[in-house]
């Protein structure tokens, strides 16, 4: 097949980890006879340095013209002053909104070889396989904002349509998995959550009656995620709860550096990024974990290009590299020499070819 992929490496460790995912995509294309056209474009602080804005019109156009967007990370301590009006983070928020990417899929499947890297006990991690579906273009992230010297507000708003469509994404995923949906809200306090719960109930009853549905309050969900993570199948939740819950869930897998994500809308075009940030403290040293970005590229192959076999092959290659102990510093025990970003990428390429 032929496809166009926009590559937006961004800031910090973004370019390093993205480079490894690009090598994997190119290897997949070469070995399976696909023609992938990769177009690089600046985003985040890198774009602010180049042209003064985090999401230049040309970058947005490149993303819009692509079948899939591979995104690294954004964020830079030089632009972290709270008084700044223009910030790198606006780029990813703008991309999500402009591309209509309302559904963020974040799979969490701890690898048995990495149980020791998680703060949780092994017996709690066995059999954990969670898909978090985070609503991505609504809620408090995108509500009206005001700010003065004496107060500030962030409005949290949800519409029925926004909740219906994310509930359907969760339902379709649950049906193809173990058929269990956990909807997370704060319905004992928030109006948006009460609407959320009503709409999710109605959509699941009407369209996904073969799935089970439970509701959990977000505070208690954070606890259950640590206490009995195996009980979760699909978690569906609003924007900010999903942001917080997935960083917590990453600790089941052992490192933030391992988790991929797919941001999807109504069509097949999507944006794929690791859930970690730009990690400025280790940027430029070639030691960052590229697996989360490589696994994001696998999700791109699956969801935007329909290449399920290729996606699964990449996932197997990453899993095998982990089994074989090719681990970056975020995952190695004290005294063990960590693999570099490049070595980890090469380990995946070797196992893909083998």
Q: Of 26, 89, 154, 350, which one interacts with ligand IPM (CB under 6 A)?
A: 89
- Give the Å distances, CA to CA, from 128 to 62, 108, 266, 310, 319: 37, 8, 29, 24, 15
Asked if 275 is part of the footprint of ligand IPM (rule: CB under 6 A), the reply reads yes
Residue 76 phi/psi, 5° resolution? -155, 130
Q: Which one of 85-93, 112-120, 215-223, 299-307 is the stretch in contact with ligand IPM (CB under 6 A)?
A: 85-93
Asked if 53 is part of the footprint of ligand IPM (rule: CB under 6 A), the reply reads no
x/- mask, ligand IPM, residues 225-244, rule CB under 6 A, reads ------------------x-
Alpha-carbon radius of gyration of the chain: 20
Structure tokens belonging to residue 82? 């709270």
247 is catalytic: yes
Whose CA is closest to 78, among 90, 66, 88, 93? Answer: 88
Q: Which one of 39-47, 89-97, 202-210, 218-226 is the stretch in contact with ligand IPM (CB under 6 A)?
A: 89-97
Task: Indicate which residue of 11, 186, 233, 291 is catalytic.
Answer: 186
Asked if 154 is part of the footprint of ligand IPM (rule: CB under 6 A), the reply reads no
Residues 221-260 that bind Mn ion (CB under 5 A): 243
Structure tokens belonging to residue 202? 């109605």
Cβ distance to ligand IPM smaller for residue 95 or 348? 95
Cβ distance to ligand IPM smaller for residue 72 or 171? 72
243 is catalytic: yes
Instruction: Give, in degrees to the nearest 5, the angle at Cα 235 between 234 and 241.
Output: 160
79 is catalytic: no
SS3 content of the chain, % helix, strand, coil (to 5): 45, 15, 35
CB within 8 Å of 122: residues ≥ 6 apart: 115, 116
Active site residues: 141, 186, 219, 243, 247
Provide the binding-site residues for Mn ion, judged by CB under 5 A.
243
Provide the binding-site residues for ligand IPM, judged by CB under 6 A.
89, 92-93, 243, 275
């Amino acid at each position: 097949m032929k496809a166009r992929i926009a590559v937006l490496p961004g800031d910090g460790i973004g370019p390093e980890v993205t480079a490894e995912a690009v090598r994997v995509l190119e290897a997949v294309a070469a070995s399976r006879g696909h023609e992938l056209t990769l177009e690089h474009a600046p985003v985040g602080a890198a774009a602010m340095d180049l042209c003064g804005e985090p999401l230049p019109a040309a970058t947005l156009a490149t993303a819009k013209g692509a079948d899939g967007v591979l995104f690294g990370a954004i964020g830079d301590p030089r632009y972290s002053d709270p008084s700044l009006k223009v910030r790198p983070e606006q780029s990813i928020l703008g991309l999500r909104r402009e591309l209509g990417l309302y559904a963020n899929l974040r799979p969490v499947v701890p690898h048995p070889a990495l149980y020791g890297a998680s703060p949780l006990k092994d017996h709690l991690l066995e059999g954990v396989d969670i898909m978090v579906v985070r609503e991505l273009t609504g809620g408090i992230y995108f509500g009206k904002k005001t700010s003065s010297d004496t107060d500030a507000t962030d409005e949290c708003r949800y519409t029925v349509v926004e909740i219906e469509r994310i509930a359907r994404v969760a339902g379709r995923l649950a049906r193809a998995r173990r058929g269990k949906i956990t909807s997370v809200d704060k319905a004992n306090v928030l109006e948006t959550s009460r609407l959320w719960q009503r709409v999710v109930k109605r959509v699941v009853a009407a369209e996904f009656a073969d799935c089970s549905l439970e509701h959990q309050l977000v505070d208690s969900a954070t606890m259950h995620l640590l206490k009995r993570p195996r009980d979760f199948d699909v978690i569906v939740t609003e924007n900010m709860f999903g942001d917080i819950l997935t960083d917590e869930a990453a600790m089941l897998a052992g490192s933030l550096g391992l988790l991929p994500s797919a941001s999807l809308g109504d069509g097949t075009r999507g944006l794929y990024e690791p859930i970690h940030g730009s990690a400025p403290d280790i940027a430029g040293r070639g030691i960052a974990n590229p697996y989360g970005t490589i696994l994001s590229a696998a999700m791109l192959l699956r969801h935007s290009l329909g290449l399920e076999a290729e996606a699964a092959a990449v996932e197997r290659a990453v899993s095998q590299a982990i089994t074989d102990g090719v681990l970056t510093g975020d995952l190695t025990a004290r005294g063990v020499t960590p693999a570099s970003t490049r070595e980890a990428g090469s380990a995946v390429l070797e196992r893909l070819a083998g």
